[in-house]
Amino acid sequence: MDFQIVDTHCHLDFDKFNRDRDEVISRALENNISHIVNSGVSYNTNISTLELSAKFEQVHPTMGLSPHLAARPDKYDIDAVISQIMQNVNNIKAIGEAGVDYHYYSDTIYKRKQLDAFKKIIDISKSTDLPLVVHARKGEREVFEMVHDLKCVVFHCYSGPIDLLEEIISNGHFISISSLVCFSSHHKKIAEETPLDSMVLETDSPYLSPRKNKRNEPVYIIDSLKLISRLHDQDEKNVALKTTRNACDIFNIK
């Protein structure tokens, strides 16, 4: 391949990569994945994300707060994570992932707690002008209403309705197409309806593998690229160039 690709969302610091993390990153770089954005979701993973980016110049850190943690402030120190992110805004490429997950936490009290934490995350993005990477499972409309006036928002692994997709794009924000596009008809439709100028690619490694019985990893983003190229009737190089340009602009990757 004579083009580069960016995996804009993964979790290479997670335990599933403890055995071969360096090899996974080397394999990606050897196969034209030129940059990888690694997303923290908790106090400890925010630290390990920073450590990983310090070791590999092609790995770029974001720091966030998983809604799974935000729903349980009785169990997790949410304020400590908020403070940690604020203290490191000069060391990261974006805020997030953060948002809501109403699939796992749908009770009213859990929803409120997620929203309370997410509002604090939004305030950091506003005050710093850093992009915000949102997790909005089954809460896409509510999240959009909360973030629509931010400068730059990436809807990580977008799974919501097509009509809202169009509003998000019209508002100047970005849709991140995950490896789900390889095996989900709804995500194929999302990819079809998302203009390349509003699209970035992600694996969400180690999750959502497009290859049966395999852990996901950044090199598998090539599977998504090939499929999206067919859906848009574009050659792979053009899809790679446009989505890579978007990713580099969003995350200030040189």
16-21, long-range: CB within 8 Å, 24+ apart, which pairs? 16/206, 16/215, 17/205, 17/206, 17/217, 21/52
In the chain, domain spans:
5-251
> pLDDT tens track of the chain, all 254 residues?
778 999 999 999 999 999 999 999 999 999 999 999 999 999 999 999 999 999 999 999 999 999 999 999 999 999 999 999 999 999 999 999 999 999 999 999 999 999 999 999 999 999 999 999 999 999 999 999 999 999 999 999 999 999 999 999 999 999 999 999 999 999 999 999 999 999 999 999 999 999 998 999 999 999 999 999 999 999 999 999 999 999 999 999 98
Provide the pLDDT for residue 48.
Answer: 98
What ranges in the chain are assigned the alpha helix state H? Answer: 21-30, 43-55, 67-70, 78-87, 108-128, 140-147, 162-170, 185-193, 221-231, 236-251
CB 202 within 8 A of CB 9: yes
Answer yes or no: CATH 3.40.640.10 is held by domain 5-251: no
pTM score, whole prediction: 0.97
